[in-house]
Amino acid sequence: MHRLLACCSLCALLGCAALPAGFQPIFNEEDLSGFRVVGPALWTVENGAIAGRQDPNNPGAGFLVTNYTWRDFELLLEFKVVPQYGRSVVVVRDVKAGAGDPLKDGCAVQILDREDAPFRTGSILGLTPSLAGAQRSGWNAMRILAFGEWLRVDLNGAKVAEAKVGNDREGTIDLYCTGGRAELQTRAYFRGLAVRPLYDTPAEFADKIPAPDMEEPEDEEPKEPEKTPEQLFMEELSALMDSKLAPIAAKLNEPAPAPETVFGPIIDKKLAEFEQKIAPALAKAGELPPPPDAALDAIITKKLAEFEQKIAPVLA
């Protein structure tokens, strides 16, 4: 909820000392600071009061919307409509801040002093009609109390309407200037606008809004603070990296094998290959040479055989 901080000079100008405790003025009686215009209606300040009327060259309804928003609050103001049967509206909790249809986007309190009107001054439009005959000629005092889903309207010191509005959202306060050719001469005036934020259930709604449970809560384990999107992203990134690097890290952490388990099979294989290659040479080298006499006898025997073959014809 936004709260206006009024300076000392402004308080002196508005006579803030006359306001009930806790109220802050939202209109400085000099200009429309703190408000903005929505729609073709003309808004000016006349004799310390906000004046709203249609533009004759561009007729149409319009709103004067606060720059600030409130949710639970008490609003005081005075209004006057000329002629008295003219229409205006005070909208509170306009959740779209004038960007939509304030009469639908907020809670609208009617200003219309006509006997044939189903919702006369002080009525909460669409929900609760006000007491008949509550408006008087000239200036009228209005009090709007908004807390939770409840809204109450007092007119000239008397309660005239109350309803559960279903809208407990924060929004702007809007003043309405009616449109249409029949209302070209209508002037709506507002002054003395002041707001008091509410933090506790007001006495007027004590029987409608249950008091909060005052029992001491059981001791709970402290909760970890919610993580920011950046922290969640870093955690996901870290988990992804861990999943990708885990196999590599596991392999690096394996103990190195003993040298003999690595080189033993290699040496055995090479020795086996070497033995296969030199086995014939070793076998041949391993044969014992014949004794000298046996070799000589073989030569002599061979030579004798050759000699016999040569002389055999002669002897024959």
DSSP code per residue over the chain: -------HHHHHHHTGGGSPTT-EES--SSS-TTEEEESS-EEEEETTEEEEE-BTTB---EEEEESS-BSSEEEEEEEEEESTT-EEEEEEEETTTTSS-HHHHSEEEEEE--TT-SS-TT-BTTTBPPPTT---SS-EEEEEEEETTEEEEEETTEEEEEEE-S----BEEEEEE--SGGGTT-EEEEEEEEEEE--S--GGGTTTSPPPP-SPPPP-PPPPPPPPHHHHHHHHHHHHHHHHHHHHHHHHTSPPPPHHHHHHHHHHHHHHHHHHHHHHHHHHHTSPPPPHHHHHHHHHHHHHHHHHHHHHHHH-
Range in 53-57, 87-91, 226-230 with the lowest mean pLDDT? 226-230
pLDDT at 243: 81
For range 141-158, the mean pLDDT: 95
Please check the confidence at residue 145 and state whether its pLDDT lies above 70. Answer: yes
Closest CA to 150 of 127, 130, 173: 127
pLDDT at 137: 86
Please check the confidence at residue 68 and state whether its pLDDT lies above 70. Answer: yes
Q: Residue 213 contacts by C-beta under 8 Å, 6 or more apart in sequence?
A: none
Average pLDDT, the chain: 83
In terms of pLDDT, which residue wins out, 215 or 132?
132
Which range of 22-36, 224-238, 266-280 scores highest in mean pLDDT? It is 22-36
In terms of pLDDT, which residue wins out, 280 or 143?
143
pLDDT at 314: 67
For range 268-286, the mean pLDDT: 75
In terms of pLDDT, which residue wins out, 146 or 208?
146
With tokens 């020795």, the residue in question is 271
pLDDT at 164: 93
pLDDT at 160: 94
The pLDDT-based confidence of 286 (bands split at 50, 70, 90) is low
Q: Are 117 and 178 in contact (CB under 8 A)?
A: no
Please check the confidence at residue 21 and state whether its pLDDT lies above 60. Answer: yes
pLDDT at 287: 60
For range 163-186, the mean pLDDT: 90
| CB under 8 A, 24+ apart: contacts of 116-121 | 121/155, 121/160
- In the chain, % of residues over pLDDT 70: 80
Q: Rounded distance, CA 23 to CA 178, Å?
A: 29
Instruction: Please work out, in degrees rounded to the nearest 5, the angle formed at the alpha carbon of residue 43 by the alpha carbons of 104 and 143.
Output: 55
Sign of CA dihedral 135, 141, 145, 149: positive
Give per-residue pLDDT as tens, 215-265: 555 656 666 777 777 777 788 878 887 887 777 777 777 766 665 665 677
Range in 27-31, 33-37, 109-113, 234-238 with the lowest mean pLDDT? 234-238
Q: Are 51 and 32 in contact (CB under 8 A)?
A: no
Q: Tokens at residue 54, please?
A: 């249609």
pLDDT at 205: 92
Q: Tokens at residue 78, please?
A: 């005075």
144 φ, ψ (degrees, to nearest 5):
-120, 125
Please check the confidence at residue 187 and state whether its pLDDT lies above 80. Answer: yes
Q: Are 79 and 88 in contact (CB under 8 A)?
A: yes
pLDDT at 92: 96
What is the phi-psi region of residue 232: left when phi exceeds 0, alpha when psi lies from -120 to 50, beta otherwise? alpha
Range in 22-31, 154-163, 218-227, 272-281 with the lowest mean pLDDT? 218-227
Please check the confidence at residue 280 and state whether its pLDDT lies above 90. Answer: no
Domain 8-205 in CATH 2.60.120.560? The answer is yes
pLDDT at 227: 74
In terms of pLDDT, which residue wins out, 142 or 3?
142
pLDDT at 90: 97
pLDDT at 304: 79
Residues of the chain with CATH 2.60.120.560: 8-205
